[in-house]
């Protein structure tokens, strides 16, 4: 899609010397990455979505570091469980709409 602006990691990562397409090269970088991924992974749906988008952006550039990939795998599992209920509820609403032959919501 040519009219879509893809997600791009924040420049703050670059300023801090963090490159998500490779493993951490210093203890400082590893600690910051671990703290960031832990905080995002425990920040609810938005944090989990941010981890997935970060991994997708890195994958577009070629590779994803193993720590980010592990966090993205965790995020995918948790989000899919949460969204499964949402999809089931939406499908039930659509079925009620079709069965009633009219608006399911008023």
| The two three-digit tokens of residue 83, written as one number | 């969204």
Q: How far is CA 8 from CA 21, 24, 37, 57, 63, in A?
A: 13, 19, 17, 6, 15
According to the model, what pLDDT value does residue 10 have? 81
| Residue among 74, 46, 70, 61 at smallest CA distance from 13 | 61
pLDDT in tens, 28-72: 999 999 999 999 999 999 999 999 999 999 998 889 999 999 999
* Percentage of residues of the chain with pLDDT beyond 70: 91
Query: What is the Cα–Cα distance from 46 to 50, expressed in whole angstroms?
Result: 6
Please state the rounded mean pLDDT for residues 96-102: 82
Can you give the pTM of this predicted structure? 0.77
Lowest mean pLDDT among 8-17, 19-28, 37-46, 73-82: 8-17
- The answer, yes or no, to whether residue 106 has pLDDT greater than 70, is no
According to the model, what pLDDT value does residue 2 have? 60
- The answer, yes or no, to whether residue 27 has pLDDT greater than 60, is yes
Q: Where are the domains of the chain?
A: 11-100
């Amino acid at each position: 899609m040519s009219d879509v602006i893809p997600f791009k990691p924040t420049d703050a990562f670059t300023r801090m010397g963090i490159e998500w397409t490779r493993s951490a090269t210093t203890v400082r970088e590893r600690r910051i990455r671990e703290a960031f991924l832990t905080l995002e992974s425990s920040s609810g749906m938005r944090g989990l979505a941010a981890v997935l988008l970060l991994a997708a952006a890195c994958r577009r550039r070629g590779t994803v570091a193993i720590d980010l990939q592990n966090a993205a795998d965790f995020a995918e599992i948790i989000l899919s469980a949460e969204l499964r209920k949402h999809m089931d509820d939406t499908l039930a609403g659509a079925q009620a709409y079709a069965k009633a032959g009219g608006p399911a919501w008023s």
